[in-house]
Homo-oligomer: A and B are copies of this chain.
Amino acid sequence: MKAKGVLHHHPFCPHSRGARAILLEAGIEFELKKHNPWDRVEDFLIINPTGTVPVFILDGAAIVGVHSISEFISDYLPRSERIKSLLPKSWQSHAENRRIRDWYETKFANEVSDPIILEHVYRRQMPANLGGGAPETEILRQAMQNLKPHLNYLDYLLEKTGWLIDERVTFTDLIVAAQLSCLDYFNLINWQENERIKEWYARIKSRPSFQPLLTDRIPGVTPPSYYTQFDF
């Protein structure tokens, strides 16, 4: 497994960002290839019929979705001390870690991050015949309303140790923080009201694996000044 991988991603897809962060954190070499989730590119659909990103290609195999990429890293990388230190400690922690990852990758994504990114990013770029156009304010309002209880839940999860599981960072912390980073680009998170989440996010932001995610820009949309700062 020495070949260089290719990560098919969209720079503002909340799931792609998580995949990118954990691959960087794991020290796996890869190049990025941008894919618009709404483009029906036949070669891409053969690899992944759902048409979604992220897809990680390695040695001719396609690893589809952030769950699978995360499980792949846990299973198949030579278990260096470094990788081991990023995985949950016990099978019980692993189960809880997967539950939290699923919560953010499905429930949070369905209720908050996917609709927000669809309205704020994708629909601006999509052709009109595929649903492109101005953001639907009612969908955004609903997603923002859903964000509040989700942040309360995140705060609760972080209460015990300051991390999602055990007392150290895992790949799931990076995956969840990657979701938040997409919202933060649009200044949608009130950090003053969420002090514990802010501290956790600052610690993740300061990791070299996370910084590259914050360099992407949307022409015409400037993120808040603190977006890339560790101390904000």
Contacts and interface: CB of A to CB of B under 8 A. Distances in A.
A68 interface: yes
B62 A102 contact: no
A50 B103 contact: yes
A74 to B, nearest CB: 8
Interface residues of A, number: 29
Given A65-B99, A99-B62, A75 B94 contact: yes
Interface in A48-70: 48-50, 59-65, 67-68
Interface string A80-110: 0000000000011011101100110011000
A72 interface: yes
Interface in A25-59: 48-50, 59
Contacts of A92: 59-61
A68 to B, nearest CB: 4
Contact of A61 (B1, B65, B75, B96): B96
A229 to B, nearest CB: 32
Interface in A187-209: none
Interface of A: 1, 48-50, 59-65, 67-68, 71-72, 75-76, 91-92, 94-96, 98-99, 102-103, 106-107, 153
Given A64-B99, A65-B102, A75-B91, 13 more contacts: A1-B91, A48-B99, A60-B92, A61-B91, A61-B92, A61-B95, A61-B96, A62-B95, A62-B96, A62-B99, A63-B98, A67-B67, A72-B94
